[in-house]
Amino acid sequence: MANLQLRFLLVSLFTSIVGEAQYVMQDAALMHYIDRRFQSLENRLEKCNQDIMDYVEEFRDFSKRIISRLEGLNVYKTEFKNEVEHLLTRVERAQRDIDYFASGRDSDACVEVDEDLVEQQQIEEAEERRKIKIVLNASCDNMLTGIKSLKIVKKTGDAHGSWMKDPGKNHPKIYFLNRSKNNVILEFANIRAFMESSNMLAARRVILPTHWQGTGHVIYKGFLFYHRYGSLNEIIKYNIHKRNITDRMLLPGAGQMPAYELFPTTKIDLAIDEQGLWAIHAEPDIGGNLVITKINHHTMAVEYTWDTSCNSKNAEAAFMVCKTLYVVYNTPNGGTSRIECVYNVLDALNTYEVPVLHFPKRYGSHSMMHYNPREKEVFAWGDGSQIIYKLETNQKV
């Protein structure tokens, strides 16, 4: 009997142990299942997060492409607008030529001229000339009669470059722009600091966002105006103090050929005189003659354009003085620079009225000449030397 009871207790104990073991195994399986589900959820969340990051990156790239395309469209829009304006100007000039030849044929055929029409044309021409005089401040009536002297300020940098003061600002700073392709301006406190500085690292450096083309850039009223390297005819307006581009324009007809045959890297030569900002370039359509354009330096808009009788062949530089273009010529191997062609935009001066003016005491060539209307001097760069020419002027008769 005792053995039977013992067997019964052992069976009960064994059954209890087996039952608890089954519960433990079920709990372990449940925990393993839950752990796998959490792991799967974490993997999915991680993949979702990665997908979101990929989408964000793709959207950023897409936004950059869109912005780039919009900027390109703005450039194309400006270029198209300027080309249309250039075409309209050419059409107007062609129409004037046609009217001129037609009137010539009519006079040869003894056809009676409508005096009222002629009078109306004369009135319109006088009105147009009056508007130009107002824009150009016709009170400026000095003409260049001679180059008084020269001063070689320093010899530094490459064979070609540009240096200047800002005639629109009342400060003595000197700006040094070395080479015909670069993007670094060196600013000196005054001309003495420039002359005495043996280390260019002492100057304040201004890094431009793009390179310039040639040596035809100018600084006026705190802005650098320059032909952008790699473009046909884009002029950049750069704020030197704030160090950013504030405006740009396309100069119609420019960039197809060098402005001066003897210095072919300059396609657009910018100039400053008493009237403000000008651009000088040559066009093959008119036999390589120079074209001068008056530019509003505030709006970067073309105000007027003139086709001159001065040719770019054997020219090395040019500058504006009192709304008059003076073109400097030389020989291909370098010689005595001389002014042989003069063009006044108001037709108040003819080339044959002005004698040939020679630059004194120097044999060589120039890669840049810019007139400073505040100091009545020409800043020049000749064979790596920085030069100042003093001018003699008289009032036009």
Nearest in space to 133 (alpha carbons), one of 343, 378, 377, 304: 304
Any domain includes 130: no
- Least reliable range by pLDDT among 80-89, 181-190, 260-269, 371-380: 80-89
Tell me phi and psi for residue 156, to 5 degrees: -155, 160
Look at 121 and 205; give whichever has higher pLDDT. 205
Alpha carbons within 13 angstroms on the beta-carbon side of residue 161 total 23
- Single-letter residue type at 196: E
Q: Is the pLDDT of residue 205 over 70?
A: yes
Same domain assignment for residues 67 and 200 = no
Q: Which domain holds residue 293?
A: 142-395
What is the per-residue pLDDT for 107? Answer: 45
Averaged over 331-346, what is the pLDDT? 91
Q: How many structural domains compose the chain?
A: 2
pLDDT of residue 138: 56
Domain annotation covers residue 156 = yes
Same domain, 45 and 155: no
Q: Which residue has the higher pLDDT, 174 or 356?
A: 174
Domain boundary among 51, 68, 86: 86
- Position with higher pLDDT, 206 vs 334: 206
Least confident of 125-134, 290-299, 362-371: 125-134
Write out pLDDT tens, residues 49-77. Answer: 888 888 888 888 888 888 878 877 777 77
Mean pLDDT of 373-384: 94
Q: Tokens standing for 27?
A: 């709990």
Compute the distance between CA of residue 376 and CA of residue 242 in angstroms, rounded to an integer: 29
**Contact criterion met (CB below 8 Å) for 157 and 384:** yes
| Distances, alpha carbon 298 to alpha carbons 136, 230, 231, 295, in Å | 15, 24, 22, 9
**Nearest to residue 370, comparing CAs of 167, 205, 213?**
167
Whose CA is closest to 190, among 219, 217, 166, 215?
166
CB 383 within 8 A of CB 363: no
Contact 384, 366 (CB under 8 A): no
Among 86, 108, 130, where does a domain finish? 86
Per-residue pLDDT for 15 more than 90? no
**Same domain for 56 and 186?**
no
Q: Does residue 295 sit in the same domain as residue 373?
A: yes
What is the reported pTM?
0.69
Residue 238 lies in a domain: yes
Residue 1 domain flag: no
Cα angle vertex 291, ends 286, 292, to 5°? 165
The domain boundary, picked from 86, 103, 124, lies at: 86
- pLDDT above 90 for 284: yes
Is 95 a domain residue? no
